[in-house]
Amino acid sequence: MNQILQTMKDILLRGGVRGLAGPILIVMILSMMVLPLPPFLLDILFTFNIALAIMVLLVAMNTTKALDFAVFPTVLLISTLLRLSLNVASTRVVLLEGHTGPDAAGKVIESFGHFLVGGNYAVGIVVFVILVVINFVVITKGAGRIAEVGARFTLDAMPGKQMAIDADLNAGLIGEDVARKRRAEVAQEADFYGAMDGASKFVRGDAVAGIIIMIINIIGGLVIGVLQHDLDFATAAKNYTLLTIGDGLVAQIPAIIISTAAGMVVSRVSSEDNIGQQLAKQLMSSPQVIILTAAIIGMLGLIPGMPHFVFLLLAAAMGWFAVYLTRQSQHAEAQEKETEATVMPVNEAPEASWEDVAQVDVLGLEVGYRLISLVDKSQDGDLLRRIKGIRKKFTQEMGFLPPAVHIRDNLDLHPTAYRITLKGAEIGTGEAHSHLLLAINPGSVSGVLPGTQTKDPAFGLPAIWIEPVLRDQAQAMGYTVVDAGTVVATHMSHLIHLHAAELLGRQELQQLIDHLTKISPKLTEDLIPKLLSLSTVQKVMQNLLDEGMHIRDMRTILETLAEHAPQIQDPTVLTALVRVALGPAIVQQFYPSAQELQVIGMDKELEYVLGQALQAGGNAIEPGLANTLLREARAATDAQERMGLPTVLLVPGGIRDLLARFLKRALPQLKVISHEEVPGFKTIRVTSMVGGRA
């Protein structure tokens, strides 16, 4: 008892009085199977059952996607239990009091038994069986099949949808909270269709139970009426059969309504409109279809022997409605043209001025005319919002605010092409189709899709431009499916990370310094410009960014510069000293949680030769040695990648800068760190070797 009281207390604390509504409802439904109910209470409960079914149907019709009515499988179970409980309660009353007359089980059952079937129990049986067949064979079976297929395809598509969410998150298009919400929606969608697949079995069982209960009631009523109450066979058959038919009809009509609601929920395609709006838009959007239908109906009405008045009346009504829709469409188009039409004033050409001097955009995006819809808010283009998200994510990751992206159309480009520029020079180009989706092959897809073969412009992965209707199929096969706006945004995000050093101009650095001065004035007041010029600090920052490092830890960077600036002014040497100070962060970037660093080492003799070359004053490597070094570095990198380990080359600090600059262009994936940058609490294990064996 204490445990029960504690459970009720927990429910009240979590959900208040509403938390007890569900358990109380289930207990009341189950108690109806045991406790006798008076006819008046049966009337109320049967009426409530019909009202509940109608309410569920209206809610199902007004949903815009299946998850808007996620509780529907539970509602389906509860409504089925309610109908079965009412059947049991009414059966008890029918068999106990059926000999007294047709109103023995209440006015609702009497009305359904007399009004709907005219008091003819033979007609009632036929109508009841037809309703059960419609519910069981047509509606419930179809809805159950749709739910079963939907559950299977939803589960198959989950990996692709999760990868698409991760791709949007990595591209900066969405935040962590939105990504978490979308992942939950994907899992909830799979749970919903699985639950609907199981809940449809309850409805099918309810239909079978309705037939069995009807047969039992008729046979039991005849036996009780003839043997216990001394009724003649005809009177007993009429009384008990009409009561049974009324009982069955009053339960089957709500069952059909609920089953129809289930079919609507699982068969609809998610959109911003509810079912009524979709029907109005998609069925009534084409006057030509209505005119053709009216013509066919009219011709049928002219055939001898056909009901001419009805057919011709319907044809005339449909023709009038088609003409009305055509006029409305023409009126809307005329208003749109009037709004767009503008009168260009004729002015004299102004004199040239300094205002006509156009500065080159630091970051630019040029699009062909077919891609204008991606950046036009009036056409639901969201590329501007995505680019804002990219800049925000870049700022959080790299530590400074990049210049704004200037977007313009370029009629010289191919209609579906776009170009990304940096200081007026092209750094990336690609093609996108605003009405198609790009299915990217991550390397583990299970089939081939119809479409235009291409490559992902950001990372060069094989991809296919597909129709939107193939999205679910592509995700089920393992493709990562993204729209055209995401393609362009991901490409831009990739490029601005690659060119981060060039994006840090003096203006951006000065804004960063001003921001730091407000927070920690002591960091900057003695360094710039007393000890170092802004250009020297800019060069150090650019050196760090050029090798993929972020500059979020400005405290460490500026403190290190302030410590060594009185003796050293060379940006390259200062960069090396800053890297040593940032050593733990650099190592963590390549080895997030590893205590042992599995690195590529370098042969001691090769280190000595490179060191001698530097001491001799050379900033370049002799061609023969360069070829050998590049070949050995490529082989070691390939070996490291085959083992699934980070491609990090560990060398002495004296030659790190020389090797980093030499290997960057040929092997951009190979990162070079020095011994001094490795924290003392980390252990090192050489797994590959440049110029020797591990």
In a domain, 23, yes or no: no
In this structure, are residues 113 and 119 in contact, taking their beta carbons and an 8 Å threshold?
Answer: yes
Residue 691 has pLDDT above 80, yes or no: no
- Per-residue pLDDT band for 663 (boundaries 50, 70, 90) equals confident
Give the model confidence (pLDDT) of 601-629 as tens digits: 888 888 888 887 777 665 667 777 888 88
Residue 686 has pLDDT above 80, yes or no: yes
Residue 277 has pLDDT above 80, yes or no: no
Q: What does the alpha-carbon distance between residue 436 and residue 447 come to, in Å, rounded to a whole number?
A: 19
Q: What does the alpha-carbon distance between residue 55 and residue 58 come to, in Å, rounded to a whole number?
A: 5
- Note whether 105 and 251 are same-domain residues: yes
Per-residue DSSP letter, 479: -
Residue 159, preceding bond cis, omega within 30 degrees? no
Give pLDDT, residue 464. Answer: 92
- Note whether 45 and 191 are same-domain residues: yes
- Note whether 316 and 385 are same-domain residues: no
Domain of 291, in residue numbers: 286-332
Query: From residue 163, how far is each of 159, 475, 481 by CA, in Å?
Result: 6, 9, 9
In this structure, are residues 362 and 403 in contact, taking their beta carbons and an 8 Å threshold?
Answer: yes
Give pLDDT, residue 149. Answer: 67
Give pLDDT, residue 346. Answer: 46
Residue with tokens 């085959």: 642
Q: Which strands, in side-by-side order, build the sheet including 363-367?
A: 405-409, 363-367, 417-422, 425-431
In a domain, 20, yes or no: no
Residue 70 has pLDDT above 50, yes or no: yes
- What mean pLDDT comes out for the span 127-152? 70
- Note whether 520 and 385 are same-domain residues: no
Give the max Cα distance, the chain: 126
Q: Which of 231-245, 310-324, 576-590 has the lowest mean pLDDT?
A: 231-245
- Note whether 175 and 261 are same-domain residues: yes
Domain count, the chain: 5
In this structure, are residues 171 and 458 in contact, taking their beta carbons and an 8 Å threshold?
Answer: no
Residue 163 has pLDDT above 80, yes or no: no
Give the model confidence (pLDDT) of 18-57 as tens digits: 556 667 767 777 776 667 777 778 778 878 878 888 888 8
Residue with tokens 């390397």: 443
Torsion of CA 61, 62, 66, 67, to 10 degrees: -150
- Note whether 676 and 538 are same-domain residues: no
- Note whether 489 and 510 are same-domain residues: no
In this structure, are residues 34 and 157 in contact, taking their beta carbons and an 8 Å threshold?
Answer: no
Domain boundary among 470, 501, 532: 501
Residue 345 has pLDDT above 50, yes or no: no
- Note whether 43 and 87 are same-domain residues: yes
- What mean pLDDT comes out for the span 455-467? 90
Residue 478's CATH number = 3.40.30.60
In a domain, 352, yes or no: no
Q: What does the alpha-carbon distance between residue 495 and residue 427 come to, in Å, rounded to a whole number?
A: 8
> Which of residues 271 and 281 earns the better pLDDT score?
281
- Reading the block at residue 128, the tokens are 């009841």
Domain boundary among 232, 253, 276: 276
- Per-residue pLDDT band for 344 (boundaries 50, 70, 90) equals very low
In a domain, 487, yes or no: yes
Per-residue DSSP letter, 135: I
- Note whether 41 and 127 are same-domain residues: yes
Q: What is the pTM of this model?
A: 0.55
In a domain, 24, yes or no: no
Give the model confidence (pLDDT) of 213-246 as tens digits: 777 777 777 777 777 777 777 777 667 777 777 7
In a domain, 1, yes or no: no
- What mean pLDDT comes out for the span 580-603? 86
Q: Determine phi and psi for 35, rounding to 5 degrees.
A: -85, 140
- Note whether 184 and 154 are same-domain residues: yes
Question: Nearest 5 degrees, angle CA 542-CA 547-CA 553?
Answer: 65
- Note whether 119 and 85 are same-domain residues: yes
Residue 419 has pLDDT above 90, yes or no: yes
- Reading the block at residue 77, the tokens are 């179970």
Q: Which of 326-335, 363-372, 539-548, 565-574 has the lowest mean pLDDT?
A: 326-335
Residue 649's CATH number = 3.40.50.12790
- What mean pLDDT comes out for the span 426-447? 88
- Note whether 304 and 319 are same-domain residues: yes
In a domain, 10, yes or no: no
- What mean pLDDT comes out for the span 339-361? 62
Q: What does the alpha-carbon distance between residue 422 and residue 425 come to, in Å, rounded to a whole number?
A: 5
In a domain, 347, yes or no: no
